[in-house]
Structure 1
Amino acid sequence: MSLSDLVLSIADNKQMLGLRYAEWATRAPSLEADIAAAAMGLDDLGHSRVLYGCLEPLGEDPRGPEREVDAGSIRSLPYFDEPWSEWGQFVAANSVLDTAFTVMIEACVGGSVEVLQHRLRKMLMEERYHFLHGRSWLRSGIDTGPLHRAWREAIEWFGPPDGETAQLYKDGRLSMGPAELQARLEERLESRVPEMTIDWKQWDPIRRRGRSGAVDERTFAMLRGLEEKRFAQAKEA
């Protein structure tokens, strides 16, 4: 797995996070939270575009034609496979997963690859508000189920101790490896990772996730522009 594969994973997850945020723009517990959901959704969709734009300068674009027809080719976490049904899922994603992606972006900016240093640095400033929003709601208390799931998927996403993330760190292209990423995430959230056992033999190194599944059909259709195409054909008929 290359650095381009990692950047594509960040981009796909940022895109899905932005879409799931946006789904709560009129469903959050308060008007302020509605506005925050919409704003953070736009931020992350914009960040995904910047990340996709880094693939060609990195010298390798892992995206293939299968992404137009196979939802399983989208490299996002299981947490985003289905729309969230409760506010606690939003908060867990906002506080844990959003921060995990930011920590990985920090590792890219702190590494030796110039295109990532230059293009991703601004994201870290924009993500500051996301972090503060998520931390505030997390401190208000949510169910442990979504929170523990978000922690697990974040640690899985960082990768195994001896995997490609560790090698990219060793090579200097990232400024943090899996252990350092986890420590940084714990530091930011002022919380320890819940006790868990991860079976790395079941881990998919391409999609960076520990279980199968894919984005729901409706969301995948929206991602690929299939809904717009279908509506246009219906009008012509």
Structure 2
Amino acid sequence: MGGAGDRAQGRAPHALGARRGRTGLLSLKTLVRSLADNKQLLGMRYAEWCTAAPTLEADIAAAAMGLDDIGHSRVLYGCLKELDGEGDGEDRSYRNLAFLDRPWRAWSQFVAANVVLDTAFTLMIEALAGGKVEVLRTRLRKMLQEERYHYLHGHSWMKEADAGKAIAGAWREAVEWFGPQGSDVDELQAAGALSLTVLELRARLRERLDRPEPPISIDWSGWDQDRRRTSDGRIDQPTLDMIQGLAERRYMPGG
């Protein structure tokens, strides 16, 4: 995968550190941390529907996808420990999308998250796995095989469920999560840590969902790069308590 060759030529295994220094590497850690937090919460939200979905097959799928995403988050949290640079200090808040702040009240929200958000997170995993940061390149590829099933499940329900409004809302949040042009994602792509730019991520999302992007207007002046969103709000306390009670501490970002 090129790691040995990099070391032989005197370059660090984390190519970003050599090119952009600590600031760029901290941006990468912030992005990976947000991806891990969102994957963990997405898994929890899926699991909440494992006995409430419209069909038995959907119940089983919700449980299976929930376990997948919680497992993926653990891998991502583990990757953070392998990346150089400073940690998050005392900041232990979740950096998740607003769509995951509260339990979903309708199946249409489940479908929207499955179709749009899960796909957006998968695209970012692809971009990280296609970059030059060795620990991400080598550890994230297996996730993509499992995410294929998530995509097929969401795509099938997108055709059956009346989820248009929820899909539009989730799509807006996915665009927020990718960030504005010229922000950290584009800088990380230029440095080689990601294989896709913001515009390329948005184009891939349109291609995967096989539909045009809905009209989206975002005031980027209020965008929080750490949380990758423009809105206030936090994860609900019962969910936070549940995660902290069930997860192993070594995989947790804390609370």
Normalised by the length of structure 1, the TM-score is 0.90
By how many angstroms is 1:202 displaced?
1.1
Do 1:4 and 1:61's aligned partners in 2 also have CA atoms closer than 8 Å?
no
Q: Out of 156, 171, 177, which is 2:176 matched to?
A: 156
By how many angstroms is 1:172 displaced?
1.2
Question: Structure 2: which amino acid aligns with 1:167?
Answer: E
Q: Which residue of 1 aligns with 2:20?
A: none
Q: Which residue of 2 aligns with 1:94?
A: 114
1:54 and 2:79 are equivalent in the alignment: yes
> What secondary structure is seen at the aligned counterpart in 1 of 2:115?
helix
Unmatched tracts of structure 1, length 5 or more: 68-72, 227-237
By how many angstroms is 1:15 displaced?
0.1
Q: Which residue of 2 aligns with 1:234?
A: none
Q: Out of 55, 64, 70, which is 1:30 matched to?
A: 55
Alignment of 1:58-137 (within 5 A): 58-60=83-85, 62-67=87-92, 73-137=93-157
Identity of aligned residues (%): 59
Question: Structure 2: which amino acid aligns with 1:4?
Answer: K
Question: Structure 1: which amino acid aligns with 2:173?
Answer: E
Root-mean-square deviation over aligned CA pairs: 1.3
Q: Which residue of 1 aligns with 2:18?
A: none
Do 2:36 and 2:76's aligned partners in 1 also have CA atoms closer than 8 Å?
yes
Distance in 1 of aligned mates of 2:45 and 2:130: 28
Distance in 1 of aligned mates of 2:91 and 2:132: 31
Distance in 2 of aligned mates of 1:94 and 1:62: 31
Q: Out of 24, 27, 30, which is 1:2 matched to?
A: 27
Do 2:112 and 2:163's aligned partners in 1 also have CA atoms closer than 8 Å?
no
Do 2:125 and 2:144's aligned partners in 1 also have CA atoms closer than 8 Å?
yes
Question: Structure 2: which amino acid aligns with 1:37?
Answer: A
Do 2:126 and 2:144's aligned partners in 1 also have CA atoms closer than 8 Å?
yes
> What secondary structure is seen at the aligned counterpart in 2 of 1:225?
helix
Q: Out of 169, 173, 189, which is 1:169 matched to?
A: 189
By how many angstroms is 1:63 displaced?
3.7
Normalised by the length of structure 2, the TM-score is 0.84
Q: Out of 41, 45, 49, which is 1:16 matched to?
A: 41
Q: Which residue of 2 aligns with 1:230?
A: none
By how many angstroms is 1:223 displaced?
2.0
Distance in 2 of aligned mates of 1:98 and 1:74: 18
Q: Out of 219, 224, 234, which is 2:239 matched to?
A: 219
Do 1:3 and 1:168's aligned partners in 2 also have CA atoms closer than 8 Å?
yes
The superposition leaves residues 89-144 of structure 1 with CA deviations (integer Å, 9 ceiling, x where unpaired) of 00000000000000000000111111111000000001000000000000113232
Q: Out of 191, 196, 203, which is 2:211 matched to?
A: 191
Deviates more, 1:123-132 or 1:53-62: 53-62
Distance in 1 of aligned mates of 2:86 and 2:244: 18
Deviates more, 1:23-32 or 1:193-202: 193-202
